[in-house]
Amino acid sequence: MSERLEEGLVSIITPVYKAEHVIDKTIRSVQAQTYRRWEMILVDDCSPDHSAQIIKQLAANDSRIRYHRLEQNSGAAVARNTAISLAKGEYLAFLDSDDLWEPIKLERQLTFMTEHHSAFSFTRIQMIDAEGKMVKADVPIPDKADYKYLLRHTVIATSTVVVNRRLTGDFSMPLRRGGQDYATWLQLLRTTGIAHGLNECLTSYRTGGQSLSSNKFKSIQQVYTIQTEDEHIGKLPAAFNTLCFCIYAFKKYFL
Protein backbone atom coordinates (compact mmCIF):
# COMPACT_ATOMS: atom_id res chain seq x y z
CA MET A 1 0.00 0.00 0.00
CA SER A 2 2.68 2.52 1.02
CA GLU A 3 4.28 2.37 -2.43
CA ARG A 4 1.19 3.79 -4.12
CA LEU A 5 0.49 6.60 -1.66
CA GLU A 6 1.60 10.09 -2.65
CA GLU A 7 3.82 11.50 0.07
CA GLY A 8 2.46 14.65 1.66
CA LEU A 9 -0.83 14.51 -0.27
CA VAL A 10 -4.00 14.90 1.81
CA SER A 11 -7.08 13.12 0.45
CA ILE A 12 -10.21 14.79 1.81
CA ILE A 13 -13.16 12.42 2.21
CA THR A 14 -16.60 14.04 1.80
CA PRO A 15 -19.93 12.19 1.42
CA VAL A 16 -22.63 14.31 -0.18
CA TYR A 17 -26.39 14.11 0.29
CA LYS A 18 -28.84 17.03 0.14
CA ALA A 19 -26.04 19.55 0.55
CA GLU A 20 -26.88 22.12 -2.12
CA HIS A 21 -27.26 24.98 0.40
CA VAL A 22 -23.86 24.45 2.05
CA ILE A 23 -21.53 22.47 -0.24
CA ASP A 24 -20.20 25.57 -1.99
CA LYS A 25 -18.99 27.04 1.33
CA THR A 26 -17.52 23.71 2.41
CA ILE A 27 -15.49 23.30 -0.79
CA ARG A 28 -14.33 26.91 -0.71
CA SER A 29 -13.07 26.43 2.86
CA VAL A 30 -10.86 23.65 1.44
CA GLN A 31 -9.70 25.79 -1.47
CA ALA A 32 -8.69 28.48 1.04
CA GLN A 33 -6.24 26.13 2.80
CA THR A 34 -2.70 27.42 3.19
CA TYR A 35 -1.55 23.81 2.67
CA ARG A 36 -2.00 23.27 -1.06
CA ARG A 37 -1.24 19.55 -1.56
CA TRP A 38 -4.72 18.10 -1.32
CA GLU A 39 -7.38 16.35 -3.32
CA MET A 40 -11.03 16.53 -2.33
CA ILE A 41 -13.05 13.43 -3.17
CA LEU A 42 -16.77 14.12 -3.01
CA VAL A 43 -18.98 11.03 -3.30
CA ASP A 44 -22.59 11.80 -4.18
CA ASP A 45 -24.97 9.37 -2.45
CA CYS A 46 -27.63 9.94 -5.14
CA SER A 47 -28.52 13.35 -3.75
CA PRO A 48 -31.87 14.51 -5.23
CA ASP A 49 -30.94 18.22 -5.22
CA HIS A 50 -28.46 20.38 -7.14
CA SER A 51 -25.36 19.34 -5.18
CA ALA A 52 -23.84 17.63 -8.24
CA GLN A 53 -24.10 20.73 -10.43
CA ILE A 54 -22.50 22.93 -7.79
CA ILE A 55 -19.61 20.50 -7.27
CA LYS A 56 -19.02 20.06 -11.01
CA GLN A 57 -18.92 23.84 -11.55
CA LEU A 58 -16.20 24.21 -8.91
CA ALA A 59 -14.33 21.12 -10.14
CA ALA A 60 -14.20 22.55 -13.67
CA ASN A 61 -11.80 25.22 -12.41
CA ASP A 62 -9.89 23.13 -9.85
CA SER A 63 -8.54 19.70 -10.84
CA ARG A 64 -7.98 18.82 -7.17
CA ILE A 65 -11.75 18.46 -6.73
CA ARG A 66 -12.91 14.96 -7.71
CA TYR A 67 -16.59 14.02 -8.06
CA HIS A 68 -17.99 10.48 -7.98
CA ARG A 69 -21.64 9.42 -7.91
CA LEU A 70 -22.89 6.15 -6.42
CA GLU A 71 -25.27 4.05 -8.49
CA GLN A 72 -27.80 3.90 -5.66
CA ASN A 73 -28.34 5.56 -2.30
CA SER A 74 -26.22 3.54 0.13
CA GLY A 75 -25.47 5.70 3.16
CA ALA A 76 -22.50 7.67 4.43
CA ALA A 77 -20.36 4.60 5.22
CA VAL A 78 -20.43 3.36 1.62
CA ALA A 79 -19.86 6.89 0.31
CA ARG A 80 -16.85 7.39 2.59
CA ASN A 81 -15.42 3.95 1.81
CA THR A 82 -15.77 4.66 -1.90
CA ALA A 83 -13.86 7.91 -1.43
CA ILE A 84 -11.19 6.11 0.61
CA SER A 85 -10.76 3.54 -2.15
CA LEU A 86 -10.21 6.35 -4.68
CA ALA A 87 -7.83 8.31 -2.45
CA LYS A 88 -4.19 8.69 -3.48
CA GLY A 89 -2.91 10.54 -0.43
CA GLU A 90 -0.61 9.52 2.38
CA TYR A 91 -3.08 11.33 4.66
CA LEU A 92 -6.85 10.98 4.89
CA ALA A 93 -8.83 13.95 6.21
CA PHE A 94 -12.56 13.74 6.82
CA LEU A 95 -14.87 16.68 6.13
CA ASP A 96 -18.65 16.43 6.14
CA SER A 97 -20.49 18.33 3.43
CA ASP A 98 -21.92 20.96 5.79
CA ASP A 99 -18.86 21.71 7.92
CA LEU A 100 -16.10 24.31 7.42
CA TRP A 101 -12.34 24.46 7.97
CA GLU A 102 -10.21 27.39 9.04
CA PRO A 103 -7.62 28.24 6.33
CA ILE A 104 -4.67 27.00 8.44
CA LYS A 105 -6.36 23.72 9.42
CA LEU A 106 -4.36 21.28 7.32
CA GLU A 107 -1.06 23.10 7.68
CA ARG A 108 -1.29 23.23 11.47
CA GLN A 109 -2.55 19.68 11.86
CA LEU A 110 0.08 18.06 9.63
CA THR A 111 2.85 19.95 11.44
CA PHE A 112 1.36 18.81 14.76
CA MET A 113 1.21 15.19 13.59
CA THR A 114 4.83 15.27 12.44
CA GLU A 115 5.97 16.73 15.76
CA HIS A 116 4.09 14.06 17.73
CA HIS A 117 4.76 11.14 15.33
CA SER A 118 0.99 10.80 15.26
CA ALA A 119 -0.98 8.33 13.14
CA PHE A 120 -4.38 9.76 14.14
CA SER A 121 -5.27 13.29 15.25
CA PHE A 122 -8.27 15.52 15.84
CA THR A 123 -8.89 19.16 16.82
CA ARG A 124 -11.29 21.40 18.67
CA ILE A 125 -14.50 22.59 17.04
CA GLN A 126 -16.89 25.47 17.30
CA MET A 127 -20.58 24.91 16.63
CA ILE A 128 -22.58 26.91 14.11
CA ASP A 129 -26.22 26.72 13.04
CA ALA A 130 -27.68 26.23 9.56
CA GLU A 131 -27.11 29.93 8.77
CA GLY A 132 -23.52 29.89 9.98
CA LYS A 133 -24.19 31.75 13.24
CA MET A 134 -22.24 30.75 16.35
CA VAL A 135 -23.99 28.26 18.64
CA LYS A 136 -21.10 27.36 20.92
CA ALA A 137 -17.50 28.48 20.72
CA ASP A 138 -14.41 26.34 21.03
CA VAL A 139 -15.42 23.00 22.55
CA PRO A 140 -12.44 21.70 24.62
CA ILE A 141 -10.75 18.36 23.92
CA PRO A 142 -8.13 16.24 25.71
CA ASP A 143 -4.51 16.15 24.55
CA LYS A 144 -4.86 12.41 23.96
CA ALA A 145 -7.67 9.88 23.64
CA ASP A 146 -7.22 6.12 23.81
CA TYR A 147 -9.68 3.27 23.25
CA LYS A 148 -10.98 3.15 26.83
CA TYR A 149 -11.44 6.92 26.95
CA LEU A 150 -13.44 6.97 23.72
CA LEU A 151 -15.82 4.30 25.03
CA ARG A 152 -17.14 6.92 27.49
CA HIS A 153 -16.52 10.30 25.83
CA THR A 154 -17.65 12.02 22.64
CA VAL A 155 -14.52 13.99 21.82
CA ILE A 156 -13.62 13.23 18.20
CA ALA A 157 -15.62 15.22 15.63
CA THR A 158 -15.43 13.59 12.21
CA SER A 159 -14.57 16.75 10.29
CA THR A 160 -11.50 17.32 12.48
CA VAL A 161 -9.86 13.92 11.89
CA VAL A 162 -6.65 13.40 9.92
CA VAL A 163 -5.08 9.94 9.61
CA ASN A 164 -1.64 8.95 8.32
CA ARG A 165 -2.21 5.79 6.29
CA ARG A 166 1.45 4.84 6.26
CA LEU A 167 1.15 4.38 10.01
CA THR A 168 -2.38 2.96 10.30
CA GLY A 169 -2.43 0.76 7.21
CA ASP A 170 -5.52 0.31 5.08
CA PHE A 171 -8.90 0.55 6.77
CA SER A 172 -12.55 1.06 5.91
CA MET A 173 -15.61 2.16 7.82
CA PRO A 174 -18.09 -0.43 9.13
CA LEU A 175 -21.16 -0.57 6.91
CA ARG A 176 -23.55 1.10 9.31
CA ARG A 177 -26.18 3.66 8.36
CA GLY A 178 -25.31 5.61 11.49
CA GLY A 179 -22.38 5.84 13.87
CA GLN A 180 -19.85 4.44 11.43
CA ASP A 181 -17.43 7.25 12.22
CA TYR A 182 -17.42 6.45 15.96
CA ALA A 183 -17.02 2.73 15.17
CA THR A 184 -14.07 3.56 12.92
CA TRP A 185 -12.28 5.64 15.57
CA LEU A 186 -12.59 2.73 18.01
CA GLN A 187 -11.27 0.39 15.34
CA LEU A 188 -8.27 2.64 14.68
CA LEU A 189 -7.51 3.12 18.37
CA ARG A 190 -7.23 -0.64 18.80
CA THR A 191 -4.23 -0.51 16.46
CA THR A 192 -2.76 3.00 16.90
CA GLY A 193 -3.25 3.16 20.68
CA ILE A 194 -3.68 6.94 20.87
CA ALA A 195 -5.36 9.76 18.97
CA HIS A 196 -3.60 13.09 19.56
CA GLY A 197 -5.75 16.15 20.20
CA LEU A 198 -4.63 19.48 18.74
CA ASN A 199 -6.04 22.09 21.10
CA GLU A 200 -6.88 24.67 18.48
CA CYS A 201 -10.32 25.42 17.06
CA LEU A 202 -9.88 24.72 13.36
CA THR A 203 -13.30 23.37 12.33
CA SER A 204 -16.83 24.76 12.36
CA TYR A 205 -19.37 22.00 12.97
CA ARG A 206 -22.85 22.76 11.64
CA THR A 207 -25.46 21.50 14.06
CA GLY A 208 -28.48 21.60 11.74
CA GLY A 209 -32.11 21.87 12.70
CA GLN A 210 -32.66 18.82 14.93
CA SER A 211 -29.17 17.50 15.55
CA LEU A 212 -29.15 18.56 19.20
CA SER A 213 -32.34 16.65 19.93
CA SER A 214 -33.55 13.61 17.97
CA ASN A 215 -30.31 13.04 16.07
CA LYS A 216 -28.24 13.23 19.25
CA PHE A 217 -30.55 10.77 20.98
CA LYS A 218 -30.15 8.40 18.05
CA SER A 219 -26.36 8.79 18.31
CA ILE A 220 -26.45 7.72 21.95
CA GLN A 221 -28.39 4.59 20.98
CA GLN A 222 -25.79 3.85 18.32
CA VAL A 223 -22.97 4.05 20.88
CA TYR A 224 -24.51 1.18 22.86
CA THR A 225 -25.13 -0.88 19.73
CA ILE A 226 -21.60 -0.37 18.41
CA GLN A 227 -20.06 -1.30 21.75
CA THR A 228 -22.11 -4.47 22.14
CA GLU A 229 -22.20 -5.63 18.50
CA ASP A 230 -18.95 -4.34 16.98
CA GLU A 231 -16.70 -4.25 20.03
CA HIS A 232 -18.28 -7.28 21.76
CA ILE A 233 -18.48 -5.51 25.11
CA GLY A 234 -20.91 -6.95 27.66
CA LYS A 235 -24.31 -5.33 27.98
CA LEU A 236 -23.79 -3.98 31.52
CA PRO A 237 -20.35 -2.43 30.88
CA ALA A 238 -21.64 -1.04 27.57
CA ALA A 239 -24.68 0.45 29.32
CA PHE A 240 -22.40 2.15 31.89
CA ASN A 241 -20.10 3.42 29.13
CA THR A 242 -23.10 4.78 27.24
CA LEU A 243 -24.41 6.55 30.34
CA CYS A 244 -21.02 8.23 30.79
CA PHE A 245 -21.01 9.08 27.07
CA CYS A 246 -24.49 10.61 27.40
CA ILE A 247 -23.49 12.76 30.39
CA TYR A 248 -20.39 14.02 28.59
CA ALA A 249 -22.41 14.73 25.43
CA PHE A 250 -24.93 16.78 27.43
CA LYS A 251 -22.12 18.86 28.94
CA LYS A 252 -20.49 19.27 25.55
CA TYR A 253 -23.57 20.47 23.69
CA PHE A 254 -25.60 22.26 26.33
CA LEU A 255 -23.30 23.59 29.10
pLDDT tens for each residue of 225-242: 999 999 999 999 999 999
pLDDT of residue 212: 36
Task: Classify 232 in phi/psi space as left (phi over 0), alpha (psi -120 to 50) or beta.
Answer: left
8 A C-beta contact, residue 125 and residue 51: no
Please provide the average confidence, as pLDDT, over all residues in the chain: 92
pLDDT of residue 215: 61
- Identify which has the larger pLDDT, 173 or 217: 173
For the residues 153-167, what does the mean pLDDT come to?
95
pLDDT of residue 80: 96
pLDDT tens for each residue of 178-232: 889 999 999 999 999 999 999 999 999 998 643 333 466 677 889 999 999 999 9
d(CA 43, CA 109): 24
d(CA 53, CA 191): 40
Domains of the chain: 2-254 (3.90.550.10)
Residue 153: Cβ within 10 Å count: 18
pLDDT of residue 2: 54
Give burial (CB, 10 Å; 0-12/13-18/19+) of 251. exposed
Give burial (CB, 10 Å; 0-12/13-18/19+) of 180. buried
Q: What's phi and psi for 86, nearest 5 deg? A: -90, -10
